[in-house]
């Protein structure tokens, strides 16, 4: 058994070891790539191989593109986000932006490895960016402590590829909708240069999925909305009178008994306070006994009260790796990308499966190519209405027309609800310009002849 | 599978795409608004005879009131006002509905909270909200709370349910009493 080292000797030994670490290269200034730094990436891009894309030509340009030009947006700097940033930065991507609206919580530290205890309370995006920028010379991660909805299309347009590590379906749909709105069509044909690929990753416990979405070309988030499992939410009537699950008993204690019995002098239930959880746990056990329900445990109580979905670091690692690989493949065109949906499950053993998710014919988000409507800005709304009813290929009966102005709906004319018809009738005599419509304005039209709302795009001829 | 990198590389840096004046996010029609345009346009054609819809603001199609006047059962002769709010995330989430009229009902509290499985984001038996449902279904559900879906066995207002169990006539009287006071 060795003697404890003298502190000085130990300090010098550690210094030696850390100084010689090749990965740092000894350079702290950006842009200085030491010899062999990107050899691992060059192996994929500068020589042919059995798995490369049929159109692939080895060259040094791909690496240059990654290092100097390719702009990636990472959404989320949490479980998946940290892994993604690490993977992308170590693969040569340097122009990375990261968006996250959250701050660091102590429960994140077991897997969101870009954060340390001293960072608790700070914005995730900023701490993640700082860590990567100082750890990987040359990498320039730009953080945004914001919600994705705080940015408009001019922000998103600048990126070549967008990768998501989000924790909500609503956010995914929003991102999906945003990228679809950036698509441009020439004579009804999609312009490929307006497509921004979206790589989406999601995890929950031991399960995860990664998918490649080419908006306008492949299945989008809304096309496969039914694949998402329903979110658990317990009905009040069941909780109040007919509990069947241990979770119902816990919710009964949390929602009904706590406020009534106020065991802690008017404080609200704190999921991080063990005494509170213990109280809820005991009440829940009593109720469970009353209804012969098994399964109420302290751990379950914590989970239900804090709405915890347990996160597993390895699942995040796997899914982020799959996503980062796809970003690399698409950015370099060196390999055939995932086509297009990968599922992963290591609850029991290891399982993974890839399939091609298909576009939904009447997808509310991506199946609509807005049809062009040509009118002078001085045309009256009445003329548009007449066009919709008289045009041979439309032949609508009594179309309802709405639009969005300044983020809010504006009902231009709606015939089939009497009270609304009366109030919007004056709009028929107003010109499109007077109504506040501009060139490129999107109009939503619904009619008895259309199964769904049809989108039109106004093109002003004058 | 298309390779986009070549196209991506070509427009590195100054990507502008076809920038049309109105294509920024303030002009993009949300999924909710697109769905509402269709569902509201179809609303009156499918209303049960006992229901009437009213829109305080013609531009806010996501916020309206529904008046239900049951023509049979305990709640006959009453007129009950519901307030319906369609959230931004529709139709992934159900509309939010409140009862504005004070009522003695096993599935509606006196504060206006409604227990209708159709309005639940997830219910164990699959009768909850799904993106295949529409406002038409919600209105039908609300209307049925006074007939088919009047449920004393799985109550939200336990007192009202127990009252009915104890004494049906007295229950009826209390219902009518509430109607006289607030549901005319």
Mark whether A94 and A78 lie in a shared domain. Answer: yes
Q: What pLDDT, on the 0 to 100 scale, is given for residue B121?
A: 79
Would you say residue B71 has pLDDT above 50? yes
Q: For residue A291, give the CATH number of its domain.
A: 1.10.10.520
Find residues 61-80 of chain B whose CB sits inside 8 Å of chain A.
61-62
Would you say residue B15 has pLDDT above 70? no
Cβ–Cβ of A237/B154 closer than 8 Å?
yes
Contact list, A444 vs chain B (CB under 8 Å):
29, 33-34, 37
**A366 catalytically annotated:** no
> What is the tens place of the pLDDT at every residue in A196-218?
999 999 998 899 999 999 999 99
Q: What pLDDT, on the 0 to 100 scale, is given for residue A235?
A: 67
Cβ–Cβ of A217/B45 closer than 8 Å?
no
Q: What angle do CA B50, B51, B56 make, to 5 degrees?
A: 155
Structural fold of domain B29-183 = Ubiquitin Conjugating Enzyme (3.10.110)
Would you say residue A328 has pLDDT above 70? yes
Mark whether A296 and A331 lie in a shared domain. Answer: no
> Which residue in the set A416, A420, A439 is minimally distant from B22, CB to CB?
A439
Q: What pLDDT, on the 0 to 100 scale, is given for residue B145?
A: 93
Residue span of the structural domain in which A378 resides:
371-460
Q: What pLDDT, on the 0 to 100 scale, is given for residue A2?
A: 52
Smallest CA–CA distance from A418 into chain B, residue: B44
* Residue A391 maps to a domain: yes
How do beta strands A341-345 and A351-355 pair?
A: antiparallel
- A194, A410, B26, B39 from A405: Cα distances, Å: 24, 7, 6, 20
Whether the CB-CB separation of A197 and B64 falls below 8 Å is answered with no
> What's the average model confidence in pLDDT over A376-387?
92
Would you say residue A22 has pLDDT above 80? no
DSSP reduced 3-state for A437: coil
What contacts A164, CB < 8 A, 6 or more positions away?
A75, A76, A171, A172, A175, A198, A199, A200, A201
Q: What pLDDT, on the 0 to 100 scale, is given for residue A123?
A: 96
Contact list, A169 vs chain B (CB under 8 Å):
92
Q: Which position among A82, A220, A223, A237 bears the catalytic label?
A: A237
Would you say residue B76 has pLDDT above 50? yes
> What is the tens place of the pLDDT at every residue in A40-82?
999 999 998 898 999 899 999 999 999 999 999 999 999 999 9
Cβ–Cβ of B20/A173 closer than 8 Å?
no
| A289 to chain B, closest Cα gap in Å | 20
Structure tokens at A234: 């317990």
| B128 to chain A, closest Cα gap in Å | 10
Mark whether A43 and A134 lie in a shared domain. Answer: yes
Interface-testing mutation among A453, A454, A460, with chain B (most B C-beta atoms within 10 A)? A453
* Residue A348 maps to a domain: no
Contact list, B122 vs chain A (CB under 8 Å):
230-233
Question: Band of the pLDDT at A149, cuts 50, 70, 90?
Answer: confident
Q: A–B: how many Cβ contacts below 8 A?
A: 210
Mark whether A68 and A129 lie in a shared domain. Answer: yes
| A200 to chain B, closest Cα gap in Å | 18
> What's the average model confidence in pLDDT over A219-243?
77
Secondary-structure percent of chain A, ordered helix, strand, coil, rounded to 5: 40, 20, 45
* Residue A123 maps to a domain: yes
Question: Band of the pLDDT at A412, cuts 50, 70, 90?
Answer: very high
> What's the average model confidence in pLDDT over A428-439?
92
- A24, A209, B67 from A78: Cα distances, Å: 25, 16, 47
Pick the more confident residue, B85 or B131. B85
> What is the tens place of the pLDDT at every residue in A270-296?
887 888 899 999 999 999 999 999 999
Would you say residue A193 has pLDDT above 80? yes
Q: For residue A193, give the CATH number of its domain.
A: 3.40.50.720
Q: What pLDDT, on the 0 to 100 scale, is given for residue B169?
A: 93
- A69, A269, A340, B76 from A73: Cα distances, Å: 13, 38, 20, 59
> What's the average model confidence in pLDDT over A404-409?
88
State the Cα–Cα distance between residues A154 and A157, nearest whole angstrom: 5
Would you say residue A30 has pLDDT above 60? no
Smallest CA–CA distance from B15 into chain A, residue: A158
> What's the average model confidence in pLDDT over A386-408?
88
Contact list, A44 vs chain B (CB under 8 Å):
none
Would you say residue A23 has pLDDT above 60? no
Mark whether A334 and A302 lie in a shared domain. Answer: no
Find residues 133-172 of chain B whose CB sits inside 8 Å of chain A.
154-156, 158
Structure tokens at B51: 């229901």
Q: For residue A444, give the CATH number of its domain.
A: 3.10.290.20
Interface-testing mutation among B6, B11, B29, with chain A (most A C-beta atoms within 10 A)? B29
> Which residue in the set B38, B61, B123 is minimally distant from A452, CB to CB?
B38
Mark whether A69 and A176 lie in a shared domain. Answer: yes
Mark whether A73 and A189 lie in a shared domain. Answer: yes
Would you say residue B167 has pLDDT above 90? yes
Mark whether A188 and A139 lie in a shared domain. Answer: yes
State the Cα–Cα distance between residues A323 and A358, nearest whole angstrom: 19
Cβ–Cβ of B7/A419 closer than 8 Å?
no
Question: Band of the pLDDT at A315, cuts 50, 70, 90?
Answer: very high
Mark whether A164 and A293 lie in a shared domain. Answer: no
Q: What pLDDT, on the 0 to 100 scale, is given for residue A93?
A: 96
Would you say residue B22 has pLDDT above 70? no
Task: Answer with the one of A288, A306, A324 that is the final residue of a domain.
Answer: A306
Cβ–Cβ of B4/A195 closer than 8 Å?
yes
Would you say residue B17 has pLDDT above 80? no
Cβ of residue A462 closer than 8 Å to a chain B Cβ: no
* Residue A179 maps to a domain: yes
Q: What pLDDT, on the 0 to 100 scale, is given for residue A80?
A: 96
Q: What angle do CA A257, A259, A263 make, to 5 degrees?
A: 80
Task: Answer with the one of A293, A322, A338 that is the final residue of a domain.
Answer: A338
Mark whether A333 and A298 lie in a shared domain. Answer: no
Q: What pLDDT, on the 0 to 100 scale, is given for residue A16?
A: 62
Smallest CA–CA distance from A243 into chain B, residue: B154
Whether the CB-CB separation of B84 and B65 falls below 8 Å is answered with yes
Q: What is the CA radius of gyration of chain B?
A: 22
Strand partners, A373: A458
Contact list, A385 vs chain B (CB under 8 Å):
none
> Which residue in the set A178, A192, A418 is minimally distant from B7, CB to CB?
A192
Cβ of residue B132 closer than 8 Å to a chain A Cβ: no
Pick the more confident residue, A258 or A351. A351
State the Cα–Cα distance between residues A97 and A84, nearest whole angstrom: 12
* Residue A402 maps to a domain: yes
Question: Band of the pLDDT at A453, cuts 50, 70, 90?
Answer: confident
Mark whether A414 and A393 lie in a shared domain. Answer: yes
> Which residue in the set A157, A330, A364 is minimally distant from B35, CB to CB?
A364
- The structural domain count of chain A equals 3
DSSP readout, A292-355? Answer: T-----HHHHHHHHTT---B-HHHHHHHHHHHHHHHHHHHH--BPPP-SEEEEE-SSS-EEEEE
Mark whether A73 and A128 lie in a shared domain. Answer: yes
Contact list, A153 vs chain B (CB under 8 Å):
23-25
State the Cα–Cα distance between residues A122 and A266, nearest whole angstrom: 30
Name the residue among A75, A310, A64 with its Cα closest to residue A171. Answer: A75
| B51 to chain A, closest Cα gap in Å | 14
Whether the CB-CB separation of A241 and A215 falls below 8 Å is answered with no
Cβ of residue A333 closer than 8 Å to a chain B Cβ: yes
């Amino acid at each position: 058994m060795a003697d404890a080292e003298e502190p000085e000797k130990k300090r010098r030994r550690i210094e030696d070891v850390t100084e010689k670490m090749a990965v740092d290269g000894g350079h702290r200034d950006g842009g200085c790539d030491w010899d062999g730094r990107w050899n691992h990436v060059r192996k994929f891009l500068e020589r042919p191989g059995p798995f490369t894309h049929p159109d692939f030509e080895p060259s040094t340009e791909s690496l240059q593109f990654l290092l100097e030009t390719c702009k990636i947006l990472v959404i989320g700097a949490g479980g998946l986000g940290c892994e993604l940033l690490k993977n992308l930065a170590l693969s040569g991507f340097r122009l990375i932006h990261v968006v996250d609206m959250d701050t660091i919580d102590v429960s994140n530290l077991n897997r969101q490895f870009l954060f340390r205890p001293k960072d608790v309370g700070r914005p995730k995006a900023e701490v993640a960016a700082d860590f990567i920028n100082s750890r990987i010379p040359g990498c320039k991660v730009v953080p945004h402590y914001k919600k994705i909805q705080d940015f408009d299309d001019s922000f998103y347009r600048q990126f070549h590829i967008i990768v998501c590590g989000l924790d909500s379906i609503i956010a995914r749909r929003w991102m999906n909708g945003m990228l679809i709105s950036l698509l441009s069509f020439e004579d009804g044909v999609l312009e490929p240069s307006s497509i921004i690929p979206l790589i989406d990753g999601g995890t929950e416990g031991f399960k995860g999925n990664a998918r490649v979405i080419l908006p306008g070309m492949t299945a989008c988030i809304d096309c496969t909305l039914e694949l998402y499992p329903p979110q658990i939410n317990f009905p009040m009537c069941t909780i109040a009178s007919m509990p069947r699950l241990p979770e119902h008993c816990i919710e009964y204690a949390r929602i009904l008994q706590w406020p009534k019995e106020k065991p802690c002098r008017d404080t609200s239930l704190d999921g991080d306070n063990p005494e509170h959880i213990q109280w809820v746990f005991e009440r829940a056990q009593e109720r469970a006994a009353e209804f012969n329900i098994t399964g109420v445990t302290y751990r379950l109580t914590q989970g239900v009260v804090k709405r915890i979905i347990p996160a597993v670091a390895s699942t995040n690692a796997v899914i982020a790796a799959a996503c980062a690989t796809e970003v690399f493949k698409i950015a370099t065109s060196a390999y055939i990308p995932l086509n297009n949906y990968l599922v992963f499950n290591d609850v029991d053993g290891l399982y993974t499966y890839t399939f091609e998710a298909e576009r939904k014919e009447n997808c509310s988000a991506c199946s609509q190519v807005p049809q062009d409507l040509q009118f002078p800005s001085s045309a009256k709304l009445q003329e548009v209405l007449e066009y919709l009813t008289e045009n041979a290929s439309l032949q609508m009966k009594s179309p309802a027309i709405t639009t969005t102005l300044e983020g809010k709906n504006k009902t231009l004319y709606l015939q089939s609800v009497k009270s609304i018809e009366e109030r919007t009738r004056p709009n028929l005599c107003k010109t499109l310009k007077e109504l506040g419509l501009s060139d490129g304005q999107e109009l939503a039209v619904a009619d008895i002849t259309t199964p769904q709302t049809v989108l039109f795009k106004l093109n002003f001829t004058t | 599978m298309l390779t986009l990198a070549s196209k991506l590389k070509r427009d590195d840096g100054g990507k502008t795409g076809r920038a049309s004046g109105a294509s920024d996010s303030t002009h993009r029609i949300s999924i909710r608004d697109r769905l509402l345009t269709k569902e509201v346009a179809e609303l009156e054609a499918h209303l049960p005879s006992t229901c009437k819809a009213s829109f305080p603001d013609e531009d806010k199609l996501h916020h309206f009131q529904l008046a239900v006047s049951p023509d049979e059962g305990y709640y006959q002769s009453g007129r009950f006002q519901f307030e319906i709010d369609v959230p931004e995330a529709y139709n992934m989430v159900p509309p939010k509905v409140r009862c504005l009229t004070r009522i003695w009902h096993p599935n509606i509290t006196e504060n206006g909270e409604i227990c209708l499985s159709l309005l639940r984001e997830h219910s164990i038996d699959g009768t909850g909200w799904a993106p295949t449902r529409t406002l038409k279904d919600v209105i039908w559900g609300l209307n049925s709370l006074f007939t088919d879906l009047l449920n004393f066995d799985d109550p939200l207002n336990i007192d009202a349910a127990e009252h009915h169990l104890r004494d049906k006539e007295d229950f009826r009287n209390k219902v009518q009493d509430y109607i006289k006071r607030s549901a005319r």
